[in-house]
Amino acid sequence: MLTGEHRRSLDDKGRISLPPAFRSVLAEGAYVAIYRRCLGIWTAGEARGALERLEAAVRAGEATSDELRRFSSSLEPVTVDAQGRLSLPSSKREVLGIGKQVVLAGVFNRGEVWDAPEWESLQSSLGEADVDRWL
């Protein structure tokens, strides 16, 4: 499970230092893809599950083949290095305008890497989230 808000700086090679809890979850490898306005990070199992759900949605007429193709072709395998860093593909960072200052957010079954100003904008637009009704 991936949770928390972690402020980080990317190094000159585009690597992010993962918090210990993320390191253990992603130790077997991960996949990165453009996901909405951020970079999504999934374990191999979660990435496969997402693709299977999307493929089922295509078969049911709830999603298009183009949506499946876009997500599947965006997925890129990444590994955690010995220092607990994950290299974020420059092509994907550039598309999203992700700079040096980022926020790594844990969103249960995935991590999200946000450009820090974009994250701040998102948070200010949400106001006070009322999740009590779901707990």
Query: Does the pLDDT at position 131 exceed 70?
Result: no
pTM of the model: 0.90
Q: What is the DSSP string of 15-36?
A: EEEPPHHHHHHHTT-EEEEEET
Query: Does the pLDDT at position 126 exceed 80?
Result: no
For the stretch 58-73, pLDDT in tens is 999 999 999 999 999 9
Summary mean pLDDT of the chain: 93
Residue 128 pLDDT level (bands cut at 50, 70, 90): low
Q: Tell me, what DSSP letter sits at residue 100?
A: S
CA distance 51 to 31: 12
Query: Does the pLDDT at position 135 exceed 90?
Result: no
The per-residue pLDDT for 129 is 62
Q: End-to-end CA distance of the chain, in Å? A: 17
Residue 134 pLDDT level (bands cut at 50, 70, 90): low
Q: Report the topology of domain 2-134.
A: Chemotaxis protein chec (3.40.1550)
Residues 6+ apart with CB under 8 A from 97: 115, 118
